[in-house]
Amino acid sequence: MKRKIDMLSGSISDKILAFAIPLALTGILQQLFNAADIMVVGRFASKQAMAAVGCNTPVIGLLVNLFVGISVGANVVIARFIGQGNSKDITKTVGTSVFLSLAGGLFLAVLGQIISRPILSLMSVPDEVFSMALAYLRIYLAGMPVILLYNFEAAIFRSNGDTKTPLICLIVAGVLNVALNLFFVIVLKRNADGVAIATVLSNLVSSAIMFILLVKSNTDIRLERTELKLNAYILRDILRIGVPAGVQAMVFSFSNIIIQSAINSLGADIMAASSAAFNVEIFSYFIVNAFGQACTTFIGQNYGANQLLRCRKVIHRALILDIACTVVMSLIIIACARTILGFFNEDSAVISYGRTRILFITPFQVLNVIMEIFSGALRGYGQSFAPAVITFFGVCAVRITWVCTMFASHGDFNTLLTCYPLSWIVTATILTVYYVIFSKRLLRGVPEKKTASQ
């Protein structure tokens, strides 16, 4: 709890890096632990079990991302109160956020048991993997209360500039996850259901550790039992920012479900390959996203303190740093693609198709930088609706149209993958234009003051 970053004064670039790097490592490690699920079943169970785990990724994303987006709303609201020096409302927001995560998790856990089978049927999951995919999805969704609790707790810590505590808790839980994966699959001879149980148990550990830290904290960022309830005023502000952010994330997931359905029609080899490639290429996205979240939090605090010129400098520095780090990570992924894919499955067809996906998607991650930085900046200003609408049309509409037209005509993997960079180009262009217009209006009339601290 003593790892906070002073976002309101002093240098900017080094503080953005101090915030973003642990956050990126958290995402990368979380994905490595998720990838361990696929690696373990791919190496010690079967290719079918590997496909069963992988095909659930977009479904889980669709159901989880709304609440993860709402946690961004909590981050922004707390950051703004920090900028204002409003200790009382900080504590209220922490209590409301934790209560909301548990309530939302229980809702998804119940809903998930009802809709799991129909969703997998709509996605055309092949019969050979359907039962394993269904078991994995139901167990994973049953763990939603602790999974969402971790995400909200992490957002609370990050609002104060502390990205290291969630990272440390994740490392502890992640090591446990890998050990449990091996135990359930190798010792108990389970397949997809075993790694799902391991995932839920490890999330229980990480969320419990951070819950205890919040309760025992002696700072404004603490959880008081009397505030563990929904505060209507605070909830309204969280939802105003968080729901559009969650819908924006759900748009990506919904379009990915459409794409996953198309992938499922191409057979188990491509299903397994796409699953493995996703778990590799997403490493570069975690770099992209970390700087976007840094932008949201830094601007949230500085906008709360009415430091608009510093907000603009934050965006410029975050954009440059994000591009540089993303390019480096993308080059590493492309160079090591075959070797990394081999850890998931040694089948030559799986490795070949997986490398094809990586080459289609990873070089264009720099477009995601523009999308994440400008979306993150707008959310920090409290403008969450516009990027959600732009993303809906730029990502979801473009991808679904492409799948229903070009892929339907050609029916090959390469044609399908083209929808990713195409949708990013459209969305990044529109978001850039919108942000430039918004920024000019926001800063109109603000004097160009320069201080030594900036």
Which residue, 373, 401, 90, 66, is CA-closest to 220? 90
Contact status, residue 66 vs residue 247, Cβ threshold 8 Å: yes
Contact status, residue 93 vs residue 79, Cβ threshold 8 Å: no
**What does 177-198 look like in DSSP terms, one character per residue?**
HHHHHHIIIIIS---HHHHHHH
249 contact partners, CB below 8 Å, separation of at least 6:
61, 65, 66, 68, 69
b or e along 252-276 (b: 16 or more beta carbons within 10 Å of the residue's beta carbon)? bbbbbbbbbbbbbebebbbbbbbbb
Sign of the torsion angle spanned by Cα atoms 18, 209, 33, 119: negative
pLDDT at position 446 is 53
Is the pTM of the predicted complex or chain greater than 0.85?
Answer: no
Q: How far apart are CA 343 and CA 335, in angstroms?
A: 15
Helix H or strand E segment including 315: helix 308-335
Q: How far apart are CA 6 and CA 293, in angstroms?
A: 16
Size of the chain in residues: 454
Stretches in the chain below the pLDDT threshold 70 = 1-3, 45, 444-454
Contact status, residue 71 vs residue 155, Cβ threshold 8 Å: yes
Contact status, residue 161 vs residue 195, Cβ threshold 8 Å: no
Q: How far apart are CA 37 and CA 22, in angstroms?
A: 23
Query: Residue 174 has which token pair?
Result: 């992640």
pLDDT at position 448 is 44
C-alpha separations of 278 from 249, 272, 337 in Å: 17, 10, 11
Measured from the Cβ of residue 440, the count of other Cβ atoms closer than 10 Å reads 9
C-alpha separations of 418 from 127, 413, 415, 423, 424 in Å: 28, 9, 5, 9, 10
Q: How far apart are CA 84 and CA 401, in angstroms?
A: 45
